[in-house]
Structure 1
Amino acid sequence: MTPPTAPLPLTWLYVPGDRPEVVTKALASGADVVIVDLEDAVAPDRKAYARAATAELLSAPPPVPVHVRVNALDTPEAESDLKTLSPLSGLTALRLPKITSPDEVARVAERTAPAEGGAIPLYALLESALGVERAYDIAVAHPALRGIALGEADLRADLGACHERALDWPRSRVVVAARAAGLPSPAQSIYPDTKDLEGLASSSARGRALGFFGRAALHPRQLPVIERAYIPTPQEVESAEETLRAATTAPGAQALPDGRFIDPAVVAAAHRTLTLANRPIKH
């Protein structure tokens, strides 16, 4: 019997690697994935400590999946991160910042592959115009790559973007590239104002409309908002159930009384909606 497939993560919580006490709280926060950050969240003089603390954490499997965002690959710290973390049994995946080429992904995959075969799952963060422009090539760079995502703070700076709408095209580009490569729909980048929950809700709804699935967070208070934004509404559930009832009664393309047209793609979308609606709510 084939075991059921684990649901895709909806919430990804970033925590600084040099704050073990915060990491411990994050593991109990209800986030689907905890991302221990060794890069931007850690000051240069704390890098070695953050790496050692993270290695201690991952010496045994933690209670929830843990990804580690290593330092930029063109820095000396990155090599130390990869060497220290790759052998650890508690590591679920590595997140690679500022990726601009498929070769970078391939080199890390080869560098971190264990001797007995296989590879550590990798996620590429696209944080520049060049990274976005090469999104599909990066997404198919290596079988070890399990996902791509935007790093929007760096991308804004690179583009000189001063309005939210300026990021719609890069966002759509990354969503399309991921799906074209057979990867899961990417999670949204973080919403930087951890106290603006209304803004987070609105932004997450926009991200869902663009094709993202779930979102990264900076604070546990953001997790329930993200979860609610990505779980189907009662109206969406009702519509999906009506679609499936109609498809069962009269298979094939048809129109519902309200004018909606049903075809296999619509039926598939209805199944996805109900699967997501049945997902356990954590917050």
Structure 2
Amino acid sequence: MTLLTALYVPGNRPDRFGKAVGAGADMVILDLEDSVPRADKTSARAAVVRWLESRHPTDRDPVFQIRINPGDAADLEAVADLPPTVELRLPKATQPDDMDAIRGRAVTALLENALGVENAFAIARHPAVTRVALGESDLASELGSDSDAVLDFARLRLVFAARAAGIEAPMMSVYPRIQDAEGLLRDTVHGLTLGMVGRTAVHPTQLAIIREAHRPSTDELSWAESVQIAMATDGVRTLPDGSMVDPAMIGRAEQILVRHRAIPPEDS
């Protein structure tokens, strides 16, 4: 399933859980890690589990993820009885073995250091892993650089690893400058050109901008639909403008159409 937006909400703020769902993100990430002070870890864990257990699922629910603390057995024990549809987000994954303790639950592996990026394909192939993502702030801190070249290298490594492993393209990391709407739009479009799809957010106001960045242009949509029609019609291998069409184009055309369908109708 292609997701375009994900929204983090601190696990020690249960008053925001319902608001996060109402914001309309495709995924809501209930965080037990970085956004929760050490003193609040136990109460946050209990609040997240209690809230998820008390909900009545609907067909409009987002995907729910819990970002656990790496190596925390108490977190894994606490979420063990939640519905299997609740996914886990595992920070600081560096090797496939990091996922072995997780059973019967989809995992997004967060790669936040050089070793994790180097092992991206092996991690992406782990049976529990359905998505991979970068933790760009931690990675930049370890490498001593947040230059475009450094981050783009890591982003591309994840794109290739995910596709080679047969899982969804990675979503982009959080854009931390909440007030910089133009920067968020520009950076998200750039990520799309690298093969990434979707983005996580830390504030609801970022969601509409992320969706807008993924909206195909009229020309892109027209081209994708023309390719699809041409490839489905026996003997027809040209577009209305006379350009040739071959099977290699269908993948790009399908990705454009997937993005178009993933944008809610009310945003169209």
**Measured at CA, do residues 254 and 181 of structure 1 come closer, stay the same or move farther in structure 2, by a change above 3 Å?**
same
Residue 19, structure 1, aligned to residue 13, structure 2 = yes
| Equivalent of 1:71 in 69, 72, 76 | 69
Partner of 2:246: 263
> 1:1-283, aligned counterparts within 5 Å?
7-61=1-55, 62=57, 63-73=61-71, 78-89=72-83, 92-106=86-100, 108-109=101-102, 113=103, 119-141=104-126, 143-248=127-232, 251=235, 257=241, 260-279=243-262, 280-281=264-265, 283=267
Q: Distance in 2 between matches of 1:273 and 1:18?
A: 38
49 and 272 in structure 1: CA distance in 2 versus 1, 3 angstrom threshold:
same
Superposed CA offset, 1:194-251 (max 9, x none): 1111000000000000001100000000000111111211121112223334445564
- 1:232-279 CA distances to partner (integer Å, 9 max, x unpaired)? 111211122233344455647557746x44111213432332343233
Deviations for 1:169-192, whole angstroms, at most 9, x for unmatched residues? 110000100110011101001100
TM-fit CA distance, 1:11: 0.5
Q: Secondary structure at the match of 1:205?
A: helix
Conserved? CA contact 2:7–2:28, under 8 Å: yes
8 Å CA contact 1:12–1:32 kept in 2: the answer is yes
Paired AA for residue 70 in structure 2: A
- What is the CA RMSD across the aligned residues, in angstroms? 2.0
The answer to whether the 8 A contact 1:232-1:273 is kept is: yes
Give yes or no for contact 2:95–2:123 (8 Å, CA) kept in 1.
yes
User: How far apart, CA to CA, are the structure 2 residues paired with 1:52 and 1:91?
Assistant: 18
Structure 2 residue matching 1:99: 3-state secondary structure: coil
Letter in 1 for 2:11: G
**Whole-Å separation in 2 of the counterparts to 1:101 and 1:188:** 21
Identical columns (%): 40
1:147 is paired with a residue of what secondary structure? strand
Three-state SS of the structure 2 residue aligned to 1:232 is coil
Structure 1 residues 134, 213: closer, same or farther in 2, change over 3 A? same
Distance 1:249 1:101, change over 3 A: closer
Tell me which of the two structures has the higher relative contact order, counting C-alpha pairs closer than 8 angstroms and 6 or more residues apart. 2
Q: Which amino acid aligns with 1:265?
A: A
User: Aligned partners of 2:30 and 2:183: how far apart in 1?
Assistant: 25
Structure 1, unpaired ranges of 5+: 1-6, 114-118
Q: 1:252 to 1:179 in 2, by over 3 A?
A: farther
Matched to 2:66, the amino acid is: V
CA contact (8 A) 2:120 2:157 kept: yes
CA distance in 2, matches of 1:251, 1:192: 50
State how far apart, in whole Å, the 1-side matches of 2:123 and 2:251 are. Answer: 28
Offset at 1:162? 3.7
* CA deviations over 1:79-120 (Å, ceiling 9, x no partner): 1111011211386101000011111112x22xxx3xxxxx11
Return the TM-score normalized by structure 2: 0.91
TM-score normalised by length of structure 1: 0.86
Residue type at the aligned position of 1:9: L
Secondary structure in 2 aligned to 1:154? helix
Q: How far apart in 2 are the matches of 1:81 and 1:41?
A: 15
Looking at structure 1, the residues matched to 109 and 66 of structure 2 have their Cα atoms a distance apart, in angstroms, of 12
Q: Number of aligned pairs?
A: 262
